[in-house]
Structure formats: structure tokens, C-alpha cells
Structure 1
């Protein structure tokens, strides 16, 4: 079990993402990466977060990434979670003991999908809505106390809130771009 540690937003996180994204782009095979994004709480100014930079890497093929990306990322200090039950996603962690004292980066490799767009939509909603940031921060504080020793339970407990925010965003966008109703 991993302890849940939340800290105040650090403006340096954006630069840490950019520097790591540059290292990843240089290390990964040409043509594999379609898009790279900073997501999660460290990507939202003003939001408290676990101090781990989450990087979403959209790839042309997860199977190709499994064959060609593991070695280069391990050379950058990442550990690959080969037993990830979500086979459609590759997950890497930088900063695991004994290599380092604590996690610093997570890399999530995924083919473009609704799941990927949801991660980015939630980030963008938070970036645009300070009131939602405050609601989400309060929930995170409460859940961090309740699930202090269990990162996975903490993450799972946030899922219903995230789903509700996404559903509301989709509902408020319903009808946008639809043709006018017939008279």
C-alpha cells in the first residue's frame, strides 16, 4: 500500500512536465507518439495534488509500444508495470525505491480513445472552473484522510465525482452543433 500525500499546487510542475516530455520524446521511437499531455491534478493551477507528474502519451499502437517503449523508458529510470490489469494501457512509474525516495512521474500510454479524451476533458474543466477546483479539492482532502494508506482506494473513490462532472459537461454541451429542429 502507498500512502496518499497531498500538497499545495507547485507552479514548477508545468516545467517539470515539459522537461520530462522532452526526455520522453527523445527516447521513444519515431512515429510511436501521437500526442503527449500533462494531465491529472498537477496539471491544474491552484489544485492540491499528490506530487507526481502524470503524463498521457497517446500512441499509434499499445502493442508496438509494449515492444519498443519499455526499454527506453526503463533507461530513463521508469519501472514498467507489466501486470497492469488494464491491458489497453501501459503504465510506468519513475521514482520507485530503491532507485529514488518517492514517485515523481507516471506515464500512461494509451491509444486514442474515449478514456483518453475524458482525462483531458476533466483537466480542462478544472482549468476553466475555479468553483469546481474548490469542490474537487475538498473531496480530495476528505478522501486522502479516509484512504491515507491506500492510493488505489483513494483514486477509485474519486471516480464517481469525476464521472458526474464529465456527465454534466456532456449534458451542457448537448445540442451544440445539432441541426435546427424542423418546424
Structure 2
């Protein structure tokens, strides 16, 4: 979401992340469950055994953008602000306008065939079953966090080639 991380901190995997995701998911289902296909835990906190920034990434999966206005209205009624796609095709970001009782999380609404969603789940699924890649990614993240502790843009740029390599050999293979 728009609020940039001030200090990049990577922590060892914590099973609490999955518990927190389930609590947030239940809350969101109460707001929009009848409009959506599913709610997915994505990002590094969703990969068991992978160190991560302690921020949960959540994809709300929709059938098509036709339903987005209704979702936006309901989320706005519950204290979320729509932020657009933040430069990533196939996802719409939302940010809570007030502090809630959950750990920090990023919320995205994605069409089921959208690029953002497909990349999120492909990366998650690949890292979940590939221990070598998971360890390489973890080492890269620790190194980048140390080198760019206060520069989230450089930290993210540093992960791009690794992520692109996985996506190129999975969903974008020739």
C-alpha cells in the first residue's frame, strides 16, 4: 500500500503470520464475502519457512473488474481507501484509514486472471515447494535489507531479477 516501510526488517518465519491472515480473512469475508471468489495469503509471509518483512500480503480474488465498484464501496464503508494499482497491472490496492488490531497488512483486489494475482500465487507456490529457491531468496532478502535498510525502492529492485527468473521459468516460459 502507499505507506512506505520506513525501516526494512526481515524476520525468521513465524507461524503467527498464518494465524493473523486467517483473522483478517474472516473480517474481510464479513464485508465482501458474497462478492468475491476467495481471499489468498500471498507474499513471503505465506511461505512456510521463509524469512520475511512482518507484513501480510492479501489478494482478494474477483471474477472480473465488473464487481470492483461494489467492493470499493463496501471497503470504503469499512474504513479502507482505494489507492489504484500502484503501478502493478492486475491489482487494486486498498489501505486501512485507521489502525486496527491486526499486524500490518497490504490488501489487493485482483481479477482471477490478472497478472498481479497470477504472479503472486505462482511465486508463493514455487517457493513453498522449492527449498533451494526459498533459501536463496531468503539470503538475498537478508542481504538487501542490510544494504538498503532505509530504501524500500532499492530493496525491491534488488529482488526483481530473482523473482523474474522464477516467473520466467513458470508462467512465462517460452
Question: TM-score, normalised on structure 1?
Answer: 0.77
Could you tell me how far 1:74 is from its partner in structure 2?
4.1
Listed as ranges, the gaps of 5+ residues in structure 2 are none
Could you tell me how far 1:123 is from its partner in structure 2?
0.6
What is the alpha-carbon root mean square deviation over aligned residues?
2.9
Residue 119 of structure 2 aligns to a residue whose secondary structure is helix
Listed as ranges, the gaps of 5+ residues in structure 1 are 175-183
Give yes or no for contact 1:77–1:99 (8 Å, CA) kept in 2.
no
- Note if 1:152 corresponds to 2:156: no
Which residue of 2 is the match for residue 179 of structure 1?
none
Could you tell me how far 1:36 is from its partner in structure 2?
1.8
- Give 1:24's match in structure 2, choosing from 10, 28, 35: 28
Which residue of 2 is the match for residue 120 of structure 1?
121
Give yes or no for contact 2:85–2:91 (8 Å, CA) kept in 1.
no
Say if 1:102 and 1:80 are closer, same or farther in 2 by CA, change over 3 A: farther
Matches within 5 A, 1:26-41: 26-28=30-32, 30=34, 32-41=35-44
Residue 81 of structure 1 aligns to a residue whose secondary structure is strand
Which residue of 1 is the match for residue 45 of structure 2?
42
Larger Rg: 1
User: Aligned equivalents of 1:71 and 1:153: distance in 2?
Assistant: 34
Say if 1:76 and 1:14 are closer, same or farther in 2 by CA, change over 3 A: farther
User: Aligned equivalents of 2:51 and 2:146: distance in 1?
Assistant: 14
Aligned length: 169
Once structures 1 and 2 are overlaid, which stretch shifts more, 81-90 or 17-26?
81-90
